[in-house]
A and B are shown apart, each in its own frame.
Chain A
Amino acid sequence: MFNYILKRLLQMVPTLIGVSLLSFVILQLVPGDPAELIAGMDASPEEVQIIRERLGTDQPLYEQYVQYNLQLLKGDLGTSMRSDNPVLQEILERFPNTVILTLLATLVTVVIGLFTGVIAATKPGSARDHASMAFSLFGISMPVFWLGIILILVFAYYIPILPSGGSSEFKHFILPALVLGISSAAVLARLTRSSILEVINQDYIRTAKAKGVREWLIIYKHALKNAFVPIITVIGMEIGNLLGGAVLTETVFSMNGLGRYIIQSIQFRDYSAVQGSILFVAFIFVIINLLVDLCYAAVDPRIRYDRKEA
């Protein structure tokens, strides 16, 4: 088990390097000279040059890349062109809100998605199966931002019980979490259903039945644990999508989170903030992937001991 963790940690390194390289390359592709952008239209060439030196963009690319990596290792994600604050600081001010939103949304996703998938899978072809899958189909086809707007209409305007914006109190998170969660729940419901159906037809389920195990135990103990591997995969993927959807949701609900920060930075052409944010997000993803892999190992003993035999 320890070896497995170590191996996965080591695999993280090239991915992180790849991401930092990618991020660097993308920024270089942005048209225009950042120094000129910062200095403004009426700046003199000397002023632009000063800014250029300060940014380090007058160095050859290779050196810039090295500088860039050194900064990263120190935890410096650059300075916001808009506010002059360190990007990392601005991210950390807002990130907790996004985290809370994502966690709540994940909770909604898992509860609704698993439940819907299980009730569909346990009576395939029945009315409840069709209803669950219809819900799922609509859920994956609905734009997240539209659902948010509809819910705002219903719960903030017509029946004013929840706020339509902000992120300072817990109640601000209810609607956004629901919105985000439902879209992902739809995806999870389908996957759970097909995963369980596949497991239910396996021989070892027949053995359990032949031993006299109770019906619900067969589903929740024998089938579900085996169905978990693909389910965890999807949950991991969905957390990724949730972070992506958080961008939209935070915008719709005017929440002060990392998603909205990214959008604002893009709109204001604050490229260092954008770059820093991308890196930060990528780093979070890599961590999430690692955690998901560890979950696999916890659930499926074949992965734990020897990959080959899985």
Chain B
Amino acid sequence: MSEPKAVPISVQVSSEAAPLRSGLLRQILKRVGSNKRSMIGLWIVTLFILIAILAPWISPYDPLEQNMDKLLQSPSLSHPLGTDEYGRDMLSRIFYGSRISLMVGIVGVVISVVFGVALGTIAGYFGGRIEALIMRITDIFMAFPGFLLALAIVSVLGPGMMNLMIAIGIFSVPSFTWISRSAVLSIKSKEYIEASRSMGAKHSRIIFKHIIPNSIAPIIVLSTLRVATAILSASGLSFLGMGAQPPSPEWGTMLSTGREFLRAAPHISIVPGVAIMLVVLGFNMLGDGLRDALDPKMKV
């Protein structure tokens, strides 16, 4: 048997520095694919995204169209999920509601990621006073439970979809700050960063070329899980009247108005809740699966 030949140095360094190239990506996709839980999650999420995108085409009725002679009807063939207190078709309202929930959740988390990762990376990379300041503020925010924080923000800004998105965007920032700082700290100490620095690379180059690609894994996992939290919180805030206002078909709002008719027409409250649970379940399963696929020992 012959010994393996020595690998040229340049190949070694670049393969170290860009670990998210095709080989690793394929491996990750394979692991996600083989994990049943994450596949179910992926299907659920995809299903809801499709519903949200195609809502105008697949809804049998106009979600805002009132029908005074069809109030509070139980599920039937013509209205598979029944009608609400204004005679509006529940199924269509659920479909349109998915647009709201998904948009708030995803946009909210995107905002959080942008700000959180920026703050965390700066804190972790530059260290010293900057880090201390950023982390102290983050700690104060993290000491508060997320939902109350979002509530406080929305109460200041006033109700409405836009403000809801902002509130959701802000309340996840501390988590991303924390996690990207941890990731940066653990990568900063690796040798190839020192090698880069000694070759004279600029800070921004090091950050974008080495640090961010390597810290992406926990960020992806956290993003998925935070979308789940965001959707739950957003519907909770809407339930309290802080988010989307009627007649908007937001699931939380629907649940809230349905309370009045709980005895007569429980489906008005039950159905949106099931929708929320399914979509959140989907994102949670997907997030779990991603976490297992990327690194089972990741502390997210």
Chains A and B share a contact (CB less than 8 Å): yes
Which segment of B74-82, B108-116, B209-217, B263-271 sits at the interface? Answer: B263-271
C-alpha spacing A20/B228, complex, angstroms: 31
User: What B residues does A137 contact at CB under 8 A?
Assistant: 281, 284-285, 288
User: Is B29 in the interface zone, CB < 8 Å from A?
Assistant: no
Please encode chain B, from 235 to 262, with 1 for each CB lying within 8 Å of some chain A CB and 0 for all others. Answer: 1100111100000000010010011001
Give chain A nearest CB distance to B226 CB in angstroms: 13
Give the residue of A27, A153, A243 whose beta carbon is less than 8 angstroms from that of B145: A243
Q: In the complex, are the beta carbons of B152 and A278 less than 8 A apart?
A: yes
Give chain B nearest CB distance to A79 CB in angstroms: 18
Q: List 21 A-B contacts (CB under 8 A).
A: A14-B136, A15-B139, A15-B143, A27-B156, A29-B156, A30-B156, A138-B281, A141-B284, A143-B235, A143-B236, A145-B252, A146-B255, A149-B259, A243-B148, A244-B147, A244-B148, A247-B151, A248-B240, A262-B151, A266-B242, A274-B152
Give chain A nearest CB distance to B294 CB in angstroms: 16
Per the CB 8 Å criterion, the residue count for chain A at the interface is: 45
Q: In the complex, are the beta carbons of B277 and A142 less than 8 A apart?
A: yes
Q: In the complex, are the beta carbons of B255 and A149 less than 8 A apart?
A: yes
A27-B156, A285-B144 known; 5 new pairs, CB 8 Å cut-off, are A141-B277, A141-B284, A241-B145, A248-B147, A274-B152
User: What B residues does A142 contact at CB under 8 A?
Assistant: 273, 277, 280
User: Is B11 in the interface zone, CB < 8 Å from A?
Assistant: no
Residue of B nearest to A11 (CB): B139
Residue of B nearest to A144 (CB): B236
User: What A residues does B277 contact at CB under 8 A?
Assistant: 138, 141-143, 146
With A137-B285, A146-B277 known as contacts, the answer to whether A26 contacts B156 (CB < 8 A) is yes
Give chain A nearest CB distance to B224 CB in angstroms: 13
Q: In the complex, are the beta carbons of A143 and B232 less than 8 A apart?
A: yes
C-alpha spacing A254/B147, complex, angstroms: 19
C-alpha spacing A29/B139, complex, angstroms: 22
User: Is B146 in the interface zone, CB < 8 Å from A?
Assistant: yes
Give chain A nearest CB distance to B268 CB in angstroms: 10
Q: In the complex, are the beta carbons of A244 and B146 less than 8 A apart?
A: yes
Q: In the complex, are the beta carbons of A153 and B143 less than 8 A apart?
A: no
User: Is B32 in the interface zone, CB < 8 Å from A?
Assistant: no
Q: In the complex, are the beta carbons of A146 and B147 less than 8 A apart?
A: no
Q: In the complex, are the beta carbons of A157 and B263 less than 8 A apart?
A: yes
With A240-B145, A244-B147 known as contacts, the answer to whether A19 contacts B140 (CB < 8 A) is yes
Q: In the complex, are the beta carbons of B228 and A286 less than 8 A apart?
A: no
With A15-B143, A137-B284, A150-B273 known as contacts, the answer to whether A248 contacts B255 (CB < 8 A) is no
With A144-B236, A248-B236 known as contacts, the answer to whether A149 contacts B284 (CB < 8 A) is no
User: What B residues does A39 contact at CB under 8 A?
Assistant: none
Please encode chain B, from 220 to 234, with 1 for each CB lying within 8 Å of some chain A CB and 0 for all others. Answer: 000000001000100
Give chain A nearest CB distance to B130 CB in angstroms: 17
C-alpha spacing A152/B241, complex, angstroms: 21
User: What A residues does B55 contact at CB under 8 A?
Assistant: none
Interface residues of B in 39-87 (CB under 8 A from A): none
Residue of B nearest to A14 (CB): B136
Give the residue of A18, A245, A267 whose beta carbon is less than 8 angstroms from that of B147: A245
Q: In the complex, are the beta carbons of A282 and B273 less than 8 A apart?
A: no
